[in-house]
Structure 1
Amino acid sequence: MGSDKEGSVREIPAPQLSDNDESVVVEEAPLLEPPPDGGAGWVQVFVGHLALFNTFGWFNSYGIFQDYYTSELNLPLSAVSWTGSVQVFLLALIGMFSGRLFDAGYYRSLIAVGSALQLVAIFTASAATEYWQLFLAQGVCGGLGAGILYCPVIACVATYFARRRALAIALVTSGGATGGTVFPLLAQQLPARVGFPWTMRCMGFVVLFNAALMLLFARTRLPPRPRGPLVEWAAFRELPYAFYTVGAFFLLWGVYLIYNYINHFGRTVLGMDRDSALTTLFVANAVGVPGRIGPALVSDAWLGPFRTLVPLAAGAGALYLGWAGVRDAGALYAFAALSGTVNGGVQSIALAGLPALTPDLRKVGTRSGMVMTVGSVACFTGPPIAGALVDAAAGSYLYMQVWAGGLMFVSAAFVAAAWFAHEGRQRRQE
């Protein structure tokens, strides 16, 4: 079955119920063919991998730009971190809108518009000379472009898989790790030869190539759902979904801090040179590929997304606390490898858990976008709070490390609550 509002659609007749009528407790979905769990779905996994390469691969490399901006523009770390946090904030904030548009059938249009905004952001940022220009280009424009892309590609892949869903989403999210490996590698090798502005433009050409491939292969599986509310408020009355949303909020507050700060920590606290410090970011991103795939295989085969995510989030919290004991470059490399692996698993399994809370996959874009929009506040405030804690401690990272570790433990607790509530609801329905 193929569908896309921009192409031919073969719909199976569905009962005509109003999505806006909150008095309807159960909406009967049309009879749809089961997900293929492979086949054409792997093509969409490839598309999603490229999308995450362009979005989170770029965001996970923000430590490159943060270090450059603090040294070249002489701005405090807490100020520069706002650009990075605004990117992720906007990505998450507009997930509610882009997710609903995906459900309505505008998938390829979203890819085209989101990619165009990303390219405008990268090429204009490469020519910027003042901080406000970087903020508007890289922070605002880049964040909007990424937000238009992110939620729809995750939702699309989820509709193609059931039994192998965690693995499929892990392969998609590993695009953030591969992009987060390629971009720092370019930043390490090119500036001495072509300068930092042209290094950014070279990164932009990589994004352009990926965007062209995405547009060529992107397809949806389910018929569009043109009618329906932007927000399904009834979902928040479901305990598993509500607990999971709170857990995702705390997770998003802390999980990405390693990518923003690890190379800055190496350079300013341990006295490493710029290239060596940048290598720690490279390591943290590179190990995220096996870090995502391993837990996904465990989730699909034995534990499921909830029981896999709880120990991963708790492990991420323990590693953040352990970061306080890092005293030399060797220990920082080890921390980068361990934390990058665990945080990679956290990111992939967190996304795999959302479709499990959506009985009607026609609403997966809307409900996933709602969680992302709630989490946008965490994305917006997390890096600046971390930077402010470092500044308040006169350059020491201890306050930030304790804060980040606590966030991940709280996240694990709420995900565990969502798991128990979900299991209880399933037992009552049997």
Structure 2
Amino acid sequence: MGDIEKHGSHHGQNSDSLSRTSTKQEDIEETEHPVQEPISRTKSIASRLENTVLSRLTTRSIVNPGPPPDGGWKAWLQVFCAWLAIMNTWGFVNSFGAFQTYYSEILPQSPSTISWIGSIQACLMFLLGIFSGRALDAGLFLPTIMVGIAFQIVGIFTMSVSKNYWQLFLTQGVLTGIGGGIFFTPCMGLVSTYFAKKRGMALGIVTSGNSFGGIIYPLVVRQLLPKIGFGWTVRVLGFMNLIALGIIIAFMRPRLPPRKAGPIVELAALKDVPYILFVAGICFCISAIYFVFYYIGSFARDTIGISYIGSLNLVIVLNGVGIPARIIPGIIADRYLGVLNTHIPLICASVVLLYSWTAISSLGGFYTFTVIYGMIAGGWQSLFPTAIASLSDDLSRAGTRLGMAFSSIALAALVGGPIGGQLIAKGDGYWPGIVWCATTTLVGCVFVIAARIVKYGTTWKVKC
């Protein structure tokens, strides 16, 4: 009995022990689950946050909305934002003549050396646009333009504290060139996804930002440089960029989901004779046109004898008359003549005007030249991308071919200003550089005419 009681007592003790052990295990399990639940909850929150961020920064969550709206407040808002992008990228490039003249007065370097600042800026704009445009296709519009805008802003504000040539080359030339090259092409491409029938008009409005920026930047420099100095004048330009580019980030939105981009290089295009001839011709013309934009102010100052502030007015006029000139020829080409038939006479007229430049010695005559040349040059500049597309039998390849053309044009933009500047430095005044500019444009014109003849024949009755 006692043994049984002892056994029972031991059994009771064992039961109590097992009960306590079981309770401890349950406690342990209960304490394990509360640890796992926050972890899983944290992972869930992180996953949702990641998906939210990626859906905002990329277009992977967008469902194809169908045909372009061809209008509406959202579509025209994209046009306005892209116009701001072009104004603050290519408008800045086209304003380099204002800086070229000023730098020639304060820096010991030759005009040819100074022009490398604007040339590398233009080169990078053309070159990087080939690759950044593909980011739009990949659904990475916002991250891409944010990177480009960051480069642009840093470039301008560091330019404001630059003290010598190499600092200006790295800030104004390289940094802003990289920034503009990264974000202007996706902005242009995004606008084209909102329009079909009105695409030409929409893109014409966007590209007019080029000329408008070419007015605003020299105007700001003209008004502020004598009053607050170079550093604060450039900072004002930087604050203008901050506002404009902030609007772009806030309101530009892609409407299409990611899509497969084409190849960077199309080997068949290298065997397409009209395409090769046309691109070669445009390379010659682009190389020459930057000579005019870079040296028009310094020519007026050195040859005609006007002040630096007065020379800025010529840069403003050259860009200002390009606003209507970038829209009207496109309308004429669409409705009446065709893009090539409109493009070629404008280049021919440029050749005649550039040769006449050698005979100009009065301020009135030079203003007349500036107005007429600005209109003609703005016209053929706005048409050449459309002309390249028109030479392609397969429009699905037009984007690739335009990208290939831009890579060649980038090199032409790089060397045009320095070559002209070197001729000015080694020659007797500006006339050797002017003759080179006119002759280079003439060669380009011959190539463009040859491309038209090979593609469509010698009759001009064909709308092409």
Instruction: Provide, for residues 266-291 of structure 1, a one-character-per-residue CA deviation record: whole Å limited to 9, x for no partner.
Output: 00111111111111111111111011
Instruction: Provide, for residues 380-407 of structure 1, a one-character-per-residue CA deviation record: whole Å limited to 9, x for no partner.
Output: 100000101111114x121221221222
Normalized per residue, which structure has more helix?
Answer: 2
C-alpha distance in structure 1 between counterparts of 2:295 and 2:181, whole Å: 23
- 2:63 corresponds to 1:10: yes
Deviation, 1:45, is 2.5
Q: 1:285 aligns with which of 307, 319, 338?
A: 319
C-alpha distance in structure 2 between counterparts of 1:383 and 1:332, whole Å: 20
> Quick one: structure 1 residues 242 and 5, their matched pair in 2 at CA, closer, same or farther if it must change by over 3 Å?
farther
What residue is the counterpart of 2:276 in the other structure? 242
Deviation, 1:164, is 4.0
Contact 1:170–1:349 at 8 Å: present in 2 too? no
Q: 1:406 aligns with which of 439, 442, 446?
A: 439
Deviation, 1:363, is 5.4
Q: Tell me the SS of whatever aligns to 1:225.
A: coil
Contact 2:141–2:254 at 8 Å: present in 1 too? yes
AA at the equivalent of 1:88: A
Map of 1:21-100 to 2, 5 A cutoff?
33=67, 35-39=68-72, 40-100=74-134
Contact 2:156–2:238 at 8 Å: present in 1 too? yes
AA at the equivalent of 1:327: S
> Quick one: structure 1 residues 110 and 243, their matched pair in 2 at CA, closer, same or farther if it must change by over 3 Å?
farther
- How many correspondences in the alignment? 401
The range that moved more, 223-232 or 63-72, is 223-232
C-alpha distance in structure 1 between counterparts of 2:261 and 2:189, whole Å: 18
> Quick one: structure 1 residues 405 and 4, their matched pair in 2 at CA, closer, same or farther if it must change by over 3 Å?
farther
AA at the equivalent of 2:446: A
Instruction: Provide, for residues 41-61 of structure 1, a one-character-per-residue CA deviation record: whole Å limited to 9, x for no partner.
Output: 433332221111011110111
Contact 1:85–1:380 at 8 Å: present in 2 too? yes
- 2:252 corresponds to 1:218: yes
> Quick one: structure 1 residues 352 and 165, their matched pair in 2 at CA, closer, same or farther if it must change by over 3 Å?
farther
Q: Which has the larger radius of gyration?
A: 2
C-alpha distance in structure 2 between counterparts of 1:239 and 1:158, whole Å: 28
> Quick one: structure 1 residues 360 and 156, their matched pair in 2 at CA, closer, same or farther if it must change by over 3 Å?
farther
Q: Tell me the SS of whatever aligns to 1:88.
A: helix
C-alpha distance in structure 1 between counterparts of 2:80 and 2:398, whole Å: 20
Contact 1:58–1:180 at 8 Å: present in 2 too? yes
C-alpha distance in structure 2 between counterparts of 1:374 and 1:114, whole Å: 22
C-alpha distance in structure 1 between counterparts of 2:190 and 2:393, whole Å: 15
Q: Tell me the SS of whatever aligns to 2:59.
A: coil
> Quick one: structure 1 residues 244 and 341, their matched pair in 2 at CA, closer, same or farther if it must change by over 3 Å?
same
Deviation, 1:36, is 4.6
The range that moved more, 191-200 or 103-112, is 103-112
> Quick one: structure 1 residues 308 and 106, their matched pair in 2 at CA, closer, same or farther if it must change by over 3 Å?
farther
C-alpha distance in structure 2 between counterparts of 1:91 and 1:141, whole Å: 11
What residue is the counterpart of 2:29 in the other structure? none
Deviation, 1:351, is 2.6
Greater relative CO (CA pairs within 8 A, separation 6+): 1
C-alpha distance in structure 2 between counterparts of 1:308 and 1:41, whole Å: 29
What residue is the counterpart of 2:370 in the other structure? 336
C-alpha distance in structure 1 between counterparts of 2:396 and 2:258, whole Å: 8
C-alpha distance in structure 1 between counterparts of 2:400 and 2:122, whole Å: 19
Q: 1:116 aligns with which of 150, 160, 164?
A: 150
- 2:382 corresponds to 1:382: no
C-alpha distance in structure 2 between counterparts of 1:223 and 1:236, whole Å: 31
Instruction: Provide, for residues 1-34 of structure 1, a one-character-per-residue CA deviation record: whole Å limited to 9, x for no partner.
Output: xx9943533259xxxxxxxxxxxxxxxxxxx73x
- 2:449 corresponds to 1:416: yes
The range that moved more, 103-112 or 276-285, is 103-112
Deviation, 1:359, is 6.5
The range that moved more, 236-245 or 141-150, is 236-245
C-alpha distance in structure 2 between counterparts of 1:44 and 1:316, whole Å: 33
AA at the equivalent of 2:438: G
C-alpha distance in structure 1 between counterparts of 2:307 and 2:354, whole Å: 23
Q: Tell me the SS of whatever aligns to 1:113.
A: helix
- 2:176 corresponds to 1:142: yes
C-alpha distance in structure 2 between counterparts of 1:348 and 1:267, whole Å: 29
AA at the equivalent of 1:194: I
C-alpha distance in structure 2 between counterparts of 1:351 and 1:156, whole Å: 16
Q: 1:306 aligns with which of 324, 340, 346?
A: 340
Contact 1:125–1:137 at 8 Å: present in 2 too? yes
Q: Tell me the SS of whatever aligns to 1:190.
A: helix
Deviation, 1:223, is 4.1
* Structure 1: gaps of 5 or more residues: 13-31, 425-430
C-alpha distance in structure 1 between counterparts of 2:137 and 2:266, whole Å: 13
Instruction: Provide, for residues 182-206 of structure 1, a one-character-per-residue CA deviation record: whole Å limited to 9, x for no partner.
Output: 1111111111221111001101111
Deviation, 1:333, is 1.1
AA at the equivalent of 1:262: I
Deviation, 1:360, is 6.5
Contact 2:59–2:254 at 8 Å: present in 1 too? no
- 2:305 corresponds to 1:271: yes
Q: Tell me the SS of whatever aligns to 2:63.
A: coil
Percent of aligned positions that are identical: 40
- 2:160 corresponds to 1:107: no
C-alpha distance in structure 1 between counterparts of 2:259 and 2:452, whole Å: 29
Structure 1 vs Structure 2 CA RMSD? 2.4
Q: 1:157 aligns with which of 191, 194, 198?
A: 191
> Quick one: structure 1 residues 216 and 80, their matched pair in 2 at CA, closer, same or farther if it must change by over 3 Å?
same
Q: Tell me the SS of whatever aligns to 2:315.
A: helix
> Quick one: structure 1 residues 208 and 290, their matched pair in 2 at CA, closer, same or farther if it must change by over 3 Å?
same
> Quick one: structure 1 residues 123 and 177, their matched pair in 2 at CA, closer, same or farther if it must change by over 3 Å?
same
Deviation, 1:236, is 2.9
C-alpha distance in structure 1 between counterparts of 2:147 and 2:392, whole Å: 27
Contact 1:155–1:365 at 8 Å: present in 2 too? no
Contact 2:124–2:178 at 8 Å: present in 1 too? yes
Instruction: Provide, for residues 337-367 of structure 1, a one-character-per-residue CA deviation record: whole Å limited to 9, x for no partner.
Output: 1111111112111133344356766655543
Deviation, 1:161, is 4.2
